[in-house]
Amino acid sequence: MNLDDYLSKATIVDCNGQIAYEMTLLLNGDVLVCGRVGNYQINPTTRETTPVGKVVPVEIVEQAVAFARSCL
């Protein structure tokens, strides 16, 4: 059984129609964001990112929070 088949996912597309970010809601409630500059997790409650110190655009954090809330 592949757990990834059952997790909620969403994509953010750039102005050229290319996938810029893929978001996955993890079992612990965090959102895993996979983008062109690497992968990181966002806690939608506190808006903290892992790894600590990773600079994440505010728009992506807001999208991750909205995505997590929409899956509830």
Q: What is the pLDDT of residues 46-56, one digit of tens each?
A: 999 999 888 88
- Exposed e or buried b per residue across 6-22, where buried means at least 16 C-beta atoms within 10 angstroms of its C-beta: eeeebebeeeeeeeebe
Overall domain count for the chain: 1
Domain membership flag for residue 24: yes
Structural domain includes residue 1? yes
Do residues 24 and 11 make contact, with C-beta atoms less than 8 angstroms apart?
no
Q: Is residue 55, in this structure, part of any structural domain at all?
A: no
Q: What percent of the chain has pLDDT over 70?
A: 100
Domain for residue 6, yes or no? yes
- Spatial neighbors of 65 by CB under 8 A, at least 6 apart, are 31, 42, 44, 47
Range of the domain at 22: 1-48
- Tell me whether residue 11 is in a domain: yes
Phi-psi region of 66 (alpha: psi -120 to 50; beta: other; left: phi over 0): alpha
In a domain, 4, yes or no: yes
Q: Does 43 map to a domain?
A: yes
Residue 54 in domain: no
- Contact present, 33 and 20 (Cβ < 8 Å): no
Confidence of residue 2 (pLDDT cuts 50, 70, 90): confident
Residue 72 has pLDDT above 80, yes or no: no
